[in-house]
Structure 1
Amino acid sequence: MSEKDGEPTDGAPADDELTAEQIDAETPGVDDAAELEAAEDQVADEAAADEDKVVATPPRRRRTGSRPANRAADADRPGEGTRTRAAAERARAAELREKRSIGRFLREVVAELRKVIWPGRKELITYTTVVIVFVAVMVALVAGLDILFAQGVLAVFG
């Protein structure tokens, strides 16, 4: 069996590749491998879109005698070189304003709340009871220690 780029040529899956059944078995909460793959594709698309936002600077060129040596002369020629620091800062500030918008924040909050698995009535009653009992035990413990230390202080210092 020969392999090319990690893929076997006889149609069998590669050693590091999982079948749909294996993915279904290993991912609780996901019923279908296709659903998981669609979500992974969406994350990959978002990552690719974020990579496009990176500003790349061109490689530095060696200055020759025919080219002006000062930056002021370079700035007079539009379309060449990199953008100015002020322009880069303005672009970054505009991007930050977009990221910090209230509308985007609220959309993300709603999206996160849709992911929450809310407890049912029975679970809610159980959790509430556990919390109340735990708090009551801690209050009794602290109150008992307070009374004990108060009695000790009164016994020692009269």
Structure 2
Amino acid sequence: MSEDKPGHGDEPTRPSGPDGAGADGELSDEQIDREAPGVEDVEELEAAEAEVAEEAEVDEDKVVATPTRRRRAGSRPAGRPDDSPRSGESTRSRADAERARAAELRDKRSLGRFLREVVAELRKVIWPGRKELITYTTVVIVFVAVMVALVAGLDIAFAKGVVAVFG
């Protein structure tokens, strides 16, 4: 039985390098789990990846041609017209595309969505504790007092200099 991998007697042992990796630079399963904790279930991870890929595919279908894209489409070879629908797919009208874009803009500009996003961002903030808050406040007050003294000192010095020069 190997000392590197307890409980895995039937697996051959690999000599490890100074960083704990195998001779070929690969980490053991235990080292990977220890260094990168995360999803325990591979099927769960694959399902999540498939869901993200599906969402990306759906979002890709929502792209509306902009004038730049239309100009580029006109310069494509004649053998592949951009206006022809793909097999089984129908093209949507310009009015439908503009309505969809207007609805999307309304959703982006809504006050409710803005407030929900503000609350979501505020939940991500790491708020300081009482002791940290007192420390930060003290530092700010001391810094402001030093800057006020510096500006006041320069003001007095310049005022005396102007009086000395111009009488």
**TM-score (ref. length: structure 2):** 0.55
For 1:83, the equivalent position in structure 2 comes to 92
Aligned residue pairs, count = 124
**TM-score (ref. length: structure 1):** 0.58
Spell out, residue by residue over 1:122-147, the C-alpha distance to the aligned partner (whole angstroms, 9 max, x if none): 11111000000000000000110111
Residue 129 (structure 1) aligned with residue 138 (structure 2)? yes
CA shift, 1:87, in A, is 2.4
Which structure exhibits the higher relative contact order, with contacts defined as CA atoms closer than 8 Å and separated by 6 or more residues?
A: 1
Q: CA separation of 1:80/1:49 partners in 2, compared to 1, >3 Å: closer, same or farther?
A: closer
Q: CA separation of 1:56/1:156 partners in 2, compared to 1, >3 Å: closer, same or farther?
A: closer
In 1, Cα distance between equivalents of 2:49 and 2:155: 55
Aligned letter for 1:22? E
Aligned letter for 2:129? G
In 2, Cα distance between equivalents of 1:45 and 1:108: 23
Matches within 5 A, 1:4-153: 15=26, 19-23=32-36, 33-34=38-39, 49=55, 51-54=57-60, 55=62, 82-153=91-162
Once the two structures are aligned, what percentage of the paired residues are identical?
A: 64
Q: Which runs of 5 or more residues in structure 1 are unaligned?
A: 1-9, 24-31, 64-73
CA shift, 1:108, in A, is 1.6
Q: Which runs of 5 or more residues in structure 2 are unaligned?
A: 1-11, 15-21, 65-72
In 2, Cα distance between equivalents of 1:44 and 1:132: 53
